[in-house]
Chains A and B, each alone.
Chain A
Amino acid sequence: MSESDPNKAAMSVSDHVMIEIRGMHKWYGEFHVLKEINLIVHKGERIVVCGPSGSGKSTMIRCINRLEEHQQGDIIVDGVELTDDLKHIDQVRKEVGMVFQHFNLFPHLTVLENCCLALIWVRKMPRRKAEEVGMHYLEKVRIPEQAKKYPGQLSGGQQQRVAIARSLCMSPNIMLFDEPTSALDPEMIKEVLDTMIELAESGMTMLVITHEMGFAKTVANRVIFMDEGEIIEENDPEAFFTTPQSDRTKLFLSQIM
């Protein structure tokens, strides 16, 4: 895929709000990790979140599927508000897939079993049907031939693609990526990014924490910069990289580019 705009326009964004975060705060004990976060994500949007480590970006997206609990404000995912209600949490997790920095595949299960497990036990799908779905997505990430292997036998890039397939099996409407390429060797980053670009082209709503600025430029329709638990800047990629507003963003960009 090229860096030109027409391609990007092909990925349509609708008015339907998928994620709405209003005045969200979070503390770890006394430590105020997230301050007054406001964010609206529309269906089909690809948002890249960047910022220095410890800026709260991971914590923010982990609040969206309730791996972390927020203490103030509202998070509404496709019309469902995240509260202590387990039913709501289950409903949200059904909508939201997540890909982690360290893959977090289940090492005691084969690649295919990793993909089918939740289909069988959460969606109550018959095993045969689940395996069909699993193979379908393994083909999508182009590693169907590894289905019978264990995660420990695959390269990092392959493992991360399995992790993406595993999430996609649950047919989520939103995908969260928490630094998906940070733990990979340089020559494996591209295969994972290519998979993510294809996913973006299919119209998936994506929230991606990454320092791959090339990816942000090509795929994102918004870039968010966070520092010290706050959203400092939010802009379309073009403007974000060429005319950053705040000094903090300028400093950050000068350090990573």
Chain B
Amino acid sequence: MPLVHTPHPDLPPPITNVGVIGWLRQNLFSSWINTFWTLLASYLIYLTIPPLINWAIIDANWIGDSRASCDANQSGACWVFIAARFDQFMYGFYPESEYWRVNLAAILLLAMMTPLFLERFHYKAWLAAAILFVYPVVAYTLFAGDVFGLMDVETSRWGGLMLTLVLSGVGIVASLPIGIVLALGRRSNMPIVKSLSIVFIELWRGVPLITVLFMASVMLPLFLPEGTHLDKLLRAMIGIVLFQSAYMAEVVRGGLQAIPRGQYEAAQALGLSYWKSMGLIILPQALKLVIPGIVNTFIALFKDTTLVLIIGLFDLLAMIQAGFVDAKWLGFAIEGYVVAALIYWIFCFSMSRYSQSLEKKLNTGHAR
């Protein structure tokens, strides 16, 4: 007897698999072990979160202008300290009357970067070039002054979040291209280029950043000819850039190695020169592959800028520390560190999210 197939109608899933109850069952109470961890985690959350909220928000001291307003109530955080010192956390020792210059530079940067995120903006390449080459000049002019009637502000007075952003911004923008060149150099067929790249990379990767910064600030001036003055901030910047570009080179090299030989050959067979095949075929794919690694290095760089403290530059963390060792505000270290952590986290997390969205956008569905 022939078997006749009758199609089954679509049935709704059992009620225990959908909705809130279904979600809870699947994710929190699917087994005894899972139930145990759910209960343990709930208990830990109960132990930590309410006191934290009490300390940070409910019992906290929000209003006032000196520590007197905090001393009365010691069970909560003293955000008065943060408010009173906030300008210094942002601008360091930058003269108060000139804060507008820093603000203007920040607004200008945000305004220039916004169109880059718009889908339908067609001059992205030109704008990006302007941000990379024109903006730094404008920003430096604004920050340093001494031209167009702007007051001269020495780099030693730059500080706080502004300095952190200047250092990491320059570090990020400069280390990527240098890293790419070093990575290409390391994979080059030319023996001299290759060995120079290897020596450079291994040298900088082999020493701690603290050592690099010390060398830049203490030893380098000894070797420079008498009378040459190289700004301390500039020296730190160069140190950071060279150090990070060595790391970047290795990240990029990882990407280059993942590109199949066939891609190089197809580019060659079409008559593309070395630089064109690198720029148009290999690097776009290689860099896309290593976005997580590149952003990882950027994030590490952003946080490593805190090390400039040891050579006497006052970045965000250093300004916050300077704040709570001040006799007027002694004893508010926790508040200071919490704020520092929060600000660093916001920047690093934004970079991480942006890299994820970039990866998604650049995915062309090619499974390799």
Contact = CB atoms under 8 A, between A and B. Distances in A.
A209 B364 CA distance: 31
B272 A118 contact: yes
Interface stretch (A45-53, A89-97, A242-250): A89-97
B231 interface: no
B147 interface: no
A153 B367 CA distance: 9
A122 interface: yes
A67 B269 contact: yes
Interface stretch (B94-102, B111-119, B276-284): B276-284
A65 B268 CA distance: 9
A50 B62 CA distance: 84
Interface in A9-27: none
B274 to A, nearest CB: 10
Contacts of B146: none
B21 interface: no
Interface string B206-238: 000000000000000000000000000000000
B262 A100 contact: yes
B27 interface: no
Contacts of B284: 108
Contacts of B195: none
B265 interface: yes
Contact of B364 (A90, A102, A108, A167): A108
Given A100-B262, A104-B263, A151 B366 contact: yes
Contacts of A98: 265-266, 269
B266 A93 contact: no
A64 to B, nearest CB: 10
B271 A118 contact: yes
Contacts of B268: 65-67, 93
Nearest to B274: A86
A105 B266 contact: yes
A104 B265 contact: yes
Chain B, interface SS category: helix
B365 A150 contact: yes
Interface string A154-194: 00000000010011001000000000000000000000000
Contacts of A104: 260, 262-263, 265-266
Contacts, number: 73
A113 to B, nearest CB: 10
B368 interface: yes
B266 A100 contact: yes
A215 interface: no
Contact of A107 (B270, B272, B280, B285): B285
B123 to A, nearest CB: 16
Given A104-B262, A106-B266, A121 B281 contact: no
Contacts of B194: none
Contacts of A151: 364, 366
A121 B276 contact: yes
A152 B362 CA distance: 13
Contacts of A133: none
Nearest to B277: A121
Contacts of B267: 106
29 contacts: A65-B268, A65-B269, A93-B270, A94-B271, A104-B263, A104-B265, A106-B266, A106-B267, A106-B281, A107-B285, A107-B366, A108-B284, A108-B285, A108-B364, A117-B272, A117-B280, A118-B271, A121-B280, A122-B276, A150-B364, A150-B365, A151-B364, A151-B366, A153-B365, A163-B266, A166-B270, A167-B270, A170-B270, A170-B271
Interface of B: 260, 262-263, 265-272, 276, 280-281, 284-285, 288, 362, 364-368
Interface of A: 65-67, 90, 93-94, 96-98, 100, 102, 104-108, 117-118, 121-122, 150-153, 163, 166-167, 170
Given A108-B366, A121-B276, A151-B366, 18 more contacts: A65-B269, A94-B271, A97-B269, A100-B265, A104-B262, A104-B265, A106-B263, A106-B266, A106-B285, A117-B272, A117-B281, A121-B272, A121-B280, A122-B271, A150-B365, A151-B364, A153-B365, A166-B270
The 10 tightest CB contacts between A and B, nearest first, are A152-B366, A107-B366, A104-B266, A104-B262, A118-B270, A150-B364, A98-B269, A152-B365, A93-B271, A122-B271
